[in-house]
Amino acid sequence: MSKRVLTTESGAPVADNQNSATAGVGGPILLQDQHLLEKLARFNRERIPERVVHARGSGAYGYFEVTDDVTGFTHADFLSEVGKRTETFIRFSTVADNLGGADAVRDPRGFALKFYTEEGNYDLVGNNTPVFFIKDPIKFPDFIHSQKRDPFTGKQEADNVWDFWAHAPEATHQITWLMGDRGIPASYRHMNGYGSHTYQWTNAQGEAFFVKYHFKTNQGIRSLSSEQGAELAGKDPNSHQTDLLQAIERGVNPSWTLYVQLMPAAEADEYRFNPFDLTKVWPHKDYPLQRVGRLVLDRNPDNVFAEVEQAAFSPNNFVPGIGPSPDKMLQGRLFAYADAHRYRLGVNHTQLAVNSPKATEANNYGRDGLMASNAYPRDRKNYEPNSYDGPAETGRALSAPLAVAGYTGTHEAPAHTKDDDFYQAGELYRLMSDDEKSRLIANIAGGLSQVSRDDVIEKNLAHFHAADAEYGKRVEEAVRALRED
């Protein structure tokens, strides 16, 4: 077989890829060495900005298969028939660290799923935790600043992490989750995924339901202790990437079973918890899990940069039958993601293979911009409405309308009868076995005891006391013991 010829970007053959062109033997390099100039310039531009959060991640393709009839709750086409399969792409991630960070750290994990449906791409951008630290998007940049590297020391600081939490009592539930046994998953395969937010499903009759998604791992939950995590993070910083890649290469295809909790829309106002508060769960005894289908991952991407680094998920990519709820965090996210992609990847990120629809095509009048690669036929008009059979609106809303009332203003989220910042954190603590409680206390104390200011420690202790008297007492004692050491 004859060897393929090495070429420049423009396709011209390269004569020498080992020696740059010089003025005479041993002389300075010539500006006319196009191959050298192009190679060095191209190399300088290999990196793009990393994600501002969730920078480190791993991706895989697969499919979603419907196993149970949910047509009474949503008219989404990809959920319309038992046995129906839809191609998917998932990206798992850690949250706080940068692109080069280690995988086996105590941090939530991203669980971002793209369904390439026949009615467009549906992105469900969740985490491995059913709740979150805050309930208003206006706090998100401050929260993330406090968890990422300090601008002066260049590293994560316990002072910042816990100072933010001292001012965010609503984070106590998620902190209890994160510091507990599931805080360091053994791998991406051994953790659950949650939509976390409440979303809306609408059925063919126009009836609305509020819905929460739960992807339960079929590999079983496996987690690492803080000590195991620290050891693995040092030995193999890419442990989760290695695990996922190798499992799929070996044909050991990981899978998750999707369940939903469904609440008829009319019940939302009177529910004991505000169903749109991301710091709260809906106890399963109130709204039991109903099975929907299964997600299977069966193909690794060929190129991590093209398909994983450039993957763009946006919670506002809905399909008919699915829509947003009034959860303020979700509403903030409906803006944040596509905006991040336009900055990080450019306005035409939707044309990249991993991001564009696969089971249908995008038909609209958006045009041009940096790196546009879509070529339109010469008779395709670029305005709407037109008299030339161009794509036209359907007149059918994707989901049911949400009722609104009252005055505009910077309102706090409405509190329902059982709502406070601590009750569910206490419930979670009380659910744990004695051993789990001991590890939780040790993990919290290990971090909180590093804080330099007593008032910040006190404020945090007050939150654990408010969640459960025993919980607060044990954390307080453990912190004191470590600080006296």
Give dist(CA 207, CA 73) in Å, integer.
Answer: 8
- Catalytic pick from 35, 75, 121, 127? 127
Based on CB atoms, which residue is closest to ligand HEM, 323 or 472? 323
Residue with Cβ nearer ligand HEM (93 or 202): 93
Q: How far is the CB of 100 from ligand HEM (least distance, A)?
A: 16
127 is catalytic: yes
337 is in an annotated binding site: yes
User: Which of 374, 398, 373, 377 has the alpha carbon at shortest distance from 388?
Assistant: 377
Instruction: Give me the least distance between CB of 329 and ligand HEM, in Å please.
Output: 5
List 58, 74, 88, 93, residue binding ligand HEM (CB under 6 A): 93
- To ligand HEM, the closest distance from the beta carbon of 48 in angstroms equals 10
Site for ligand HEM contains 51 (CB under 6 A): yes
What residues between 299 and 328 interact with ligand HEM by CB under 6 A? 311-313
Give the residue with the Cβ less far from ligand HEM, 105 or 329. Answer: 329
SS3 letters for the chain? CCCCCCECCCCCECCCCCCCCECCCCCCECCCCHHHHHHHHHHHCCCCCCCCCCCCEEEEEEEEEECCCCCCCCCCHHHCCCCCEEEEEEEEEECCCCCCCCCCCCCCEEEEEEEEECCEEEEEEEECCCCCCCCCHHHHHHHHHHHCCCCCCCCCCHHHHHHHHHCCHHHHHHHHHHHCHHHCECCHHHCCEECCCCEEEECCCCCEEEEEEEEEECCCCCECCHHHHHHHHHHCCCHHHHHHHHHHHCCCCCEEEEEEEEEEHHHCCCCCCCCCCCCCCCCCCCCCCEEEEEEEEEECCCCHHHHHHCCCCCCCCCCCCEEECCCHHHHHHHHHHHHHHHHHCCCCHHHCCCCCCCCCCCCCCCCCCCCCCCCCCCCCCCCCCCCCCCCCCCCCCCCCCCCCCCCCCCCCCCCCCCCCCCHHHHHHHHHCCHHHHHHHHHHHHHHHCCCCCHHHHHHHHHHHHHHCHHHHHHHHHHHHHHHHC
Number of residues in contact with ligand HEM under rule CB under 6 A: 27
Residues 168-197 interacting with ligand HEM (rule: CB under 6 A)? 196
Q: Which of 329, 354, 398, 479 binds ligand HEM (CB under 6 A)?
A: 329
For 57, 221, 250, 258, the CA distances from 253, given in Å and listed in that order, are: 18, 16, 8, 16
Q: Which residue is nearest to ligand HEM (CB)?
A: 110
Closer residue to ligand HEM in complex, CB, 332/357: 332
Complex with ligand HEM: residue 185 or 472, whichever CB lies closer: 185
Q: Measured from the CB atom, is 184 or 311 closer to ligand HEM? A: 311
The interface region with ligand HEM, picked from 46-54, 147-155, 367-375, 385-393 by CB under 6 A, is 46-54
Contact predicate 165/457, CB 8 Å: no
Q: Can you tell me which of 112, 113, 258, 441 binds ligand HEM, judged by CB under 6 A?
A: 112
Selected from 87, 140, 181, 390, the binder of ligand HEM by CB under 6 A is 140
Question: Judged by CB under 6 A, which of 74, 86, 94, 127 binds ligand HEM?
Answer: 127
- Binding ligand HEM (rule: CB under 6 A), the pick from 148, 333, 349, 463 is 333
> What's the min distance (Å) between Cβ of 352 and ligand HEM?
12
> Shortest Cβ distance from residue 253 to ligand HEM (Å)?
20
Q: Is 160 a catalytic residue?
A: no
The residue among 93 and 348 lying less far from ligand HEM, judged by its C-beta, is: 93
The piece of 81-89, 200-208, 340-348, 420-428 that touches ligand HEM (CB under 6 A) is 340-348
Q: Which residues contact ligand HEM (rule: CB under 6 A)? A: 51-54, 57, 91, 93, 110, 112, 125-127, 132, 137, 140, 196, 311-313, 329, 332-333, 336-337, 340-341, 344
Output the known binding site.
Answer: 337
Output the known binding site for heme.
Answer: 337
Catalytic residues: 54, 127
